[in-house]
Amino acid sequence: MLEVQNLSMRFGGLLAVDQVSLDVNEREIVSIIGPNGAGKTTVFNCMSGFYKPTGGKILFQGQEVQGKPDYKISRLGMVRTFQHVRLFNNMTVVENLLVAQHRHLNTNLLAGLLKTPDYRERERKSLDRAAYWLNRVGLMDMANREAGNLAYGQQRRLEIARCMVTEPKLLMLDEPAAGLNPAETKDLNQLIVSLKEDYCVSVVLIEHDMSLVMDISDRINVINQGRPLASGTPEEIRQNDDVIKAYLGEA
Amino acid sequence: MAANNLKHALFCAVVTLVIAYPILGLNLEAQGINVTLEGADASTVISVLAAAVVVFLFQLFRDNILSVLKSVPSPLPKSQKEPMAENKRARIESWVLTGIVILALFWPFFVSRGAVDLATLVLIYIMLALGLNVVVGLAGLLDLGYVAFYAVGAYTFALLSQYAGVSFWVALPIGACLAALFGFTLGFPVLRLRGDYLAIVTLGFGEIIRILLNNWTSLTGGPNGVGGIPDPTLFGMEFGRRVKEEGNVSFHETFGIAYSGEHKVIFLYLIALVLAVFTALVIRRFMRMPVGRSWEALREDEIAARSLGMSRTAVKLSAFTIGAFFAGFAGTVFASKQGFISPESFVFLESAIILAIVVLGGMGSQIGVVLAAIAVTILPELAREFSEYRMLIFGAAMVLMMIWRPQGLMPVRRIHIELSKQE
Ligand SMILES: Nc1ncnc2c1ncn2[C@@H]1O[C@H](COP(=O)(O)OP(=O)(O)OP(=O)(O)O)[C@@H](O)[C@H]1O
Ligand SMILES: [Mg+2]
């Protein structure tokens, strides 16, 4: 469903991403790994429309999306999280989830002001959807807390829930396990697998936690210094000499 | 650190001297056709020097003074009280508010005309501040030219009545919509701007409108303003002693009561009250709707908001447009209350006062904004003897507020949302 072809991104003299290709099928978890500064986040930023790539193509469900504005790409069903959690900190947890559903609710202002039955119905649905996902990520008790006051692990989960209420087709997670303790990482592992199994989303995952990556990925792409280094199943990557060299070289 | 403070304090003192002495100390005396420069007399020189010394000492010990001020317990009540059950609290709150509105409905019949007049002004400021609260408090867009939309509303009514004989009730929606259109138009060029840049551009816009009104003499009468703006009518009944408009009847004759100038004042007050309540309710509703939430989301984190499919253009434009709409409302009422308007009424100071109300009240908080509007409008009237020091007191109050209670009188309380437990 997603095809990235020869994507390049240049910042002045720095070629941060160089001819990276990637494809993701329906209900698949594809990981992008690589040492720090390899250009993983930059690939995401190009895919989500945050940067306009300097070269290459991005096809989402057959449609070229490179260079489209970020909010339009997100409306197509490609939603992302951020390496540094970005919540609406002064809004409550539920409000964070309601904001994300603005499009399901978006009718004209008058319908909302007058509380037409149709509007109420949609509002109730979006509340239910929010409640469902809060339950799903175990944040129901925090519903009316301000998002900024949550513990780090909870914020990470809320960010994923906030993506899921938009009912995406493809979810891009940028280091979702960073800063989580082992128990939380285990929950995250199950959550991501269930997103694929139960909610039919494809996931593109950037992650440094190798056991998580090896455990849940269907395929893995390795990038080093902006260039694609290897790609294949976890088993193939584990045995790939180039990858071992790159990681050992870094260490 | 200490040396740094000393240098800074010396610098501030010198600046005080350099600024204060020429302004206060030098006088231009006209002697026949010549103008001579007179030096200051002794007392002025002494007070300027004293001021410099005060500035010097304050700056030198600034850190100590501020920390002492901070440690003084704030005279305002703490916001964290025992949390009450949310639905109970909400119910009590809505009862109390309804009670206050009902009181406000009957109150003008028992007080003096001057008080009612002042209360009308307060209500106009409440409308303005509630509208600006959308732009600054909720959407986080610092707008320093808000008074322009107020002016658009006021001038729309004034000019329509002068050239086309349009009545208050027809002009009210037109004024508000025209102001909204101006808000929308201003929204476009400033979409990409943020923070200081946005503030400067909106400030410029406010000035452009004022200067335009001042100089387009053929249409607006320039500095002379527009007069003879009619009062509102009640179903075709006029409140004047004699009926001005053909086809209207007069209020006191219809009801067979003696004419009194107070009727008109009270009627205007009631209109302002209804419109202010309407403004508050509509904006309150917006805050619970997707538009309102997206304003706040954009303020909180623009990148995250966009990554969730929110269009920055739509959200910002809606905030500007809706904010301006209510300023247009307020402007129409203002024009009707004054009967005469000129560009003098729409100077930057007005924008600053409205902004101060929003900040003092607690950005985004409606009740806080209403309280602050009352305080900022009424306190100067109560302390008329000190009217020369009005701005001074105002400034001092702002500084103290920022030290003691930077979140405003009544910081926003998040809306509590009950979720149905499922599964
Ligand atoms: N906006 C930008 N302007 C200039 N250079 C940038 C920009 N964004 C990223 N870079 C550079 O691109 C390179 C790749 O950065 P990127 O954030 O994509 O790495 P990463 O693989 O996500 O690393 P990490 O694992 O540390 O998150 C880095 O050298 C970075 O400095
Ligand atoms: Mg990164």
Q: What is the mean pLDDT of chain A?
A: 90
Q: What is the mean pLDDT of residues A29-46?
A: 92
User: How many Å lie between the centroid of ligand 1 and the Cα of residue A14?
Assistant: 10
**Residues, beta carbon < 5 Å, ion ligand 2:** A 41, 83
**Domain containing A63 — which CATH number?**
3.40.50.300
Is B83 among the domain residues? no
Domain count, chain A: 2
Q: Which residues 6+ apart lie within 8 Å of B155 measured at CB?
A: B213, B220, B226, B331, B335, B341
Claim to verify: residue A73 and residue A92 sit in the same structural domain: no
Residue B71 is encoded by which pair of tokens? 């440690």
Claim to verify: residue B146 and residue B186 sit in the same structural domain: yes
Q: Please tell me the distance from the alpha carbon of residue B139 to that of residue B136, in angstroms, as a whole number.
A: 6
List Cα–Cα distances, B143 to B283, B286, B413, in angstroms. Answer: 18, 20, 23
Q: For residue A251, is pLDDT > 50?
A: no
Is B267 among the domain residues? yes
Is A155 among the domain residues? no
Contact present, B8 and B63 (Cβ < 8 Å) = no
Domain count, chain B: 2
User: How many Å lie between the centroid of ligand 1 and the Cα of residue A42?
Assistant: 6
Q: What is the mean pLDDT of residues B250-270?
A: 75
Amino acid B240: pLDDT = 67
The pLDDT-based confidence of B82 (bands split at 50, 70, 90) is: low
Residue A151 in contact with ligand 1 by CB distance below 6 A = no
Stated length of chain B: 423
Q: Is B250 helix (H, G, I), strand (E, B) or coil?
A: strand
Share of chain A above pLDDT 70, in %: 97
Q: What is the mean pLDDT of residues A209-230?
A: 91
Claim to verify: residue A71 and residue A176 sit in the same structural domain: yes
Claim to verify: residue A79 and residue A19 sit in the same structural domain: yes
Claim to verify: residue A194 and residue A174 sit in the same structural domain: yes
Q: Which residue of B has its CA nearest to A71?
A: B309
Is B76 among the domain residues? no
Claim to verify: residue A39 and residue A135 sit in the same structural domain: no
Is A241 among the domain residues? yes
Residue A132's domain spans which residues? 88-149
Is B77 among the domain residues? no
For B367-414, write each residue's pLDDT tens digit: 889 998 998 888 777 776 776 777 777 778 778 877 877 777 777 777
Chain B CB contacts of A86 below 8 Å: 301, 303-304, 307
Share of chain B above pLDDT 90, in %: 31
pTM equals 0.83
Residue B285 is encoded by which pair of tokens? 């509703």
Claim to verify: residue A192 and residue A127 sit in the same structural domain: no
Q: What is the mean pLDDT of residues B126-153?
A: 93
Contact present, A26 and A34 (Cβ < 8 Å) = no
Nearest residue to A203 via CA among A6, A19, A5, A32: A32
Choose the closest CB to B422 out of A50, A80, A132: A132
Minimal C-alpha gap between A246 and chain B (Å): 32
Claim to verify: residue A185 and residue A235 sit in the same structural domain: yes
Minimal C-alpha gap between B172 and chain A (Å): 19
Q: Bigger pLDDT: B30 or A6? A: A6
Neighbours of B193 (CB within 10 A): 16
Claim to verify: residue A70 and residue A10 sit in the same structural domain: yes
Q: For residue A151, is pLDDT > 60?
A: yes
Determine, for residues B301 and A80 on separate chains, whether the beta-carbon distance falls below 8 Å: no
Nearest residue to B283 via CA among B320, B323, B330: B323
Amino acid B52: pLDDT = 85
Residue B21's domain spans which residues? 2-67
Claim to verify: residue A16 and residue A33 sit in the same structural domain: yes
Q: Is A101 helix (H, G, I), strand (E, B) or coil?
A: coil
The pLDDT-based confidence of B87 (bands split at 50, 70, 90) is: confident
Residue B309 touches chain A, beta carbons under 8 Å: yes
Q: For residue B219, is pLDDT > 80?
A: yes
Residue B220 is encoded by which pair of tokens? 């607006």
Chain B CB contacts of A72 below 8 Å: 309
Nearest residue to B319 via CA among B180, B112, B156: B180
Is B415 among the domain residues? no
For B274-315, write each residue's pLDDT tens digit: 999 999 999 999 998 889 999 999 999 999 999 999 988 889
Claim to verify: residue B44 and residue B134 sit in the same structural domain: no
Claim to verify: residue B44 and residue B173 sit in the same structural domain: no
The pLDDT-based confidence of B423 (bands split at 50, 70, 90) is: very low
Is A156 among the domain residues? no
Q: What is the mean pLDDT of residues B173-199?
A: 89
Claim to verify: residue A175 and residue A80 sit in the same structural domain: yes
List Cα–Cα distances, A115 to A127, A131, B275, B419, in angstroms. Answer: 15, 21, 20, 19
Is B113 among the domain residues? yes
Is B208 among the domain residues? yes
Buried b (16+ CB within 10 A) or exposed e, A97-106: bbbbbbbbbb
Q: For residue B81, is pLDDT > 60?
A: no
Task: Give the closest residue (by CA) to ligand 1 atom 28.
Answer: A37
Contact present, A4 and A65 (Cβ < 8 Å) = no
Is A159 among the domain residues? no
For B60-78, write each residue's pLDDT tens digit: 887 888 788 777 765 555 5
Choose the closest CB to B308 out of A74, A131, A140: A74
Tell me which of A107, A122, A149 is where a domain ends.
A149
Is B421 among the domain residues? no
Amino acid A245: pLDDT = 79
Choose the closest CB to B308 out of A99, A132, A134: A99
